[in-house]
A and B are shown apart, each in its own frame.
Chain A
Amino acid sequence: MSLPIRMRALNHNFVNHRVKPALKEINLQIEAGQFVALVGPSGCGKSTLLRLTAGLLNPSQGEIHLGTLTPAQAVSQQRLAWMAQSPALLPWLTVEANVALPQRFNHRALTQRLSPQEALERVGLLDAAREYPRTLSGGMQQRLALARTLTQDYDVWLMDEPYAALDELTRAHLSSEILQHWEPIRPTVVWVTHHLYEAVHLADRVLVMSPAPGQIILDVDVNLPRPRREDSSEFQAVVAQLRQALQQGEAAG
């Protein structure tokens, strides 16, 4: 069962030798089962917002809830999957063993779970199952990390730039695979990206963040039927709207 995400008066500062505000007054309600893309310039706090939601950081102020759970509770009940910005693979395990690793630590009985082989097949890495990560290209490592996240099959997916090292064609192929996997089970997704087309292609809703300290400056529902055609005028109109918001944010910052 997927979970809604609610953030209230969320502020976060990084404290090194001085206080550096990273996120400012985030108020956000994400419905259960909604696919939300989060776009914004580099360093605006997208990853931080994701890490706060994943319980990897504690907010300086404000609160986050996933349903009735705090992020820490959601983690301990294994309700959320977080995908790091780097592939974060274990070099001494084969591709197959890397994908299977989260299931080893899984204490919940999951019904919709993808087997490691199925997950590898979805990202097109089944042929490389017995290889070691270092023999894979950057893009393949990223796909492997994605497959590993898919096997977790949790209620909330927090994805930090899963397409960072991928080429255009692979992105398109993976997007259709991911939507196919997502649609029937409908976990809540927060998908961080730099790529506006990717955001509009995938998401039900796109949030645009300002440069640091990150604030949400635009919140757009994407009411286009799937599969979406990037050359349609409606699609282009949403992209244009997002781009304008980004540019304005940049100018104001």
Chain B
Amino acid sequence: MNGERQTSSTMIAAAILLFFFIVWELAVFSSGIQPYLLPSPSHILKTLFANPELYVRATWFTLGEALAGLTLGVLAGVLLASLLSLAPRLEGGVMTLAILIKSTPMVAVAPLLTLWLGFGVLPKIIITALLTFFPVLVNMLSGLHSTDAALVDLFRSWHTGRWETYFHLRLPYALPYLFAALKISAPLALIGAVVAEWTGASGGLGRTMWLAYTNLNLPYLFAAIFILAAAGMLAYWGLAGLEQRCVFWKGTSQDEF
């Protein structure tokens, strides 16, 4: 029954998407609006498939940066949250610093990093890591703190060590929170990489977009947007699927009875 429900919800989503594109196409066609203001979806797709090599290369470039930055950000977030849960006295100071990083507009930092570190991938990875780190830290920390109080007491009564409690109790309890964070951070990583590329890069979708924008070549720009949107969606789905496998025990009890 669950599978059926899933299939029908996928169908509905696809239908809504299709409807959206048809309306867009018809609106562009009937209004006669120029492609340098708003290209039609068919025009965008034609552009995309006319330049496969360009887009494939740019996509790999950007995805690589996003993935590297995301990995770094997630690792840093998980490790720091774990450290804070094991040594709660540090929490106040570290969280202040983290909020400071979070509140710094990355759009302003990106050009600086590009200025200092050049047009290579390093500034993109750093920006992406900074952007994705905070949701992971905050969610992971609430996850590690969310452990059932009775279970914490039970582990105390078993005289388990700090690490045993961490690995057998707190970490599994935090997993659903980590996945919630990843589902926010993964699409954010794409944005981070693109925004960083926008400030100057040797390749990538952000650079493609920037060039297209300065030439008012909107079909090129939109083609890159389509790819980004699709990549973000795929990442989200992939994570949701992984979540179902890793956090299988989190289902509602009604499913079973």
Contact yes or no, B251 A102, CB < 8 A: no
B157–A75 touching, CB < 8 Å: yes
- Flag B126-161 by CB within 8 Å of A: 1 or 0 each: 000000000000000000000010110110111110
Task: Contact check, B159 vs A76: say whether CB atoms are below 8 A apart.
Answer: yes
Does B250 lie at the interface of the complex (its beta carbon under 8 Å from any beta carbon of A)?
yes
Interface string of B189-207 (1 = CB under 8 A from A): 0000000000000000000
The answer to whether the Cβ of A56 comes within 8 Å of any Cβ in the partner chain is yes
User: CA of A103 to CA of B235 in the docked complex: distance in angstroms?
Assistant: 40
B contacts with A: majority SS: helix
- Chain A residues lying within 8 Å of B172, measured Cβ to Cβ, are 90, 92
A85 is an interface residue with CB less than 8 A from chain B: yes
CB neighbours of A84 from chain B (8 A): 150, 153-154
User: How many A residues have CB within 8 A of the partner chain?
Assistant: 25
Determine whether A54 belongs to the interface, using a CB cutoff of 8 Å to chain B: yes
A67 within 8 A of B: no
Residues of B within 8 Å of A92, CB to CB, are 172, 248-249
Contact (A134, B251) CB under 8 Å given A86-B150, A90-B169, A92-B172: yes
| Nearest Cβ on chain A to B83's Cβ, whole angstroms | 23
Does A62 touch B at the CB level, under 8 Å?
A: no
Q: If the complex has contacts A78-B159, A105-B159, are A134 and B153 also in contact, measured as CB distance less than 8 A?
A: no
Interface residue B8 (Cβ < 8 Å from any Cβ of A) = no
Interface membership of A81, Cβ < 8 A: yes
B54 CB → nearest A CB, Å = 46
Question: At the interface, yes or no: A88 with Cβ under 8 Å from chain B?
Answer: yes
B residues within 8 A CB of A104?
168
Interfacial chain A residues near B159, Cβ < 8 Å: 75-76, 78, 105
**Closest chain A residue to B161, Cβ basis:** A105
Q: A88-B150, A90-B172, A92-B249 are in contact. Are A75 and B160 (CB under 8 A)?
A: no
User: Does A235 reach chain B (CB closer than 8 Å)?
Assistant: no
**Docked complex Cα distance between A133 and B158 (Å):** 20
Chain B residue with the shortest CB-CB distance to A56: B153
* A85/B157 in contact, CB under 8 A: no
Further pairs besides A78-B158, A88-B153, A132-B249: 7, Cβ < 8 Å: A51-B153, A56-B156, A78-B159, A82-B157, A86-B148, A88-B154, A134-B249
Could you write out 25 A-B pairs with CB less than 8 Å apart? A55-B156, A55-B157, A56-B156, A56-B157, A75-B157, A78-B158, A80-B157, A82-B154, A82-B157, A85-B150, A88-B150, A88-B151, A88-B153, A88-B154, A90-B169, A91-B249, A91-B250, A101-B168, A102-B158, A104-B168, A105-B158, A105-B159, A106-B158, A134-B249, A134-B256
Spell out A's residues near B (CB within 8 Å). 51, 54-56, 75-76, 78, 80-82, 84-86, 88, 90-92, 101-102, 104-106, 132, 134-135
| 8 A-B pairs with least C-beta separation | A82-B157, A88-B150, A91-B249, A84-B150, A92-B249, A135-B256, A86-B150, A105-B158
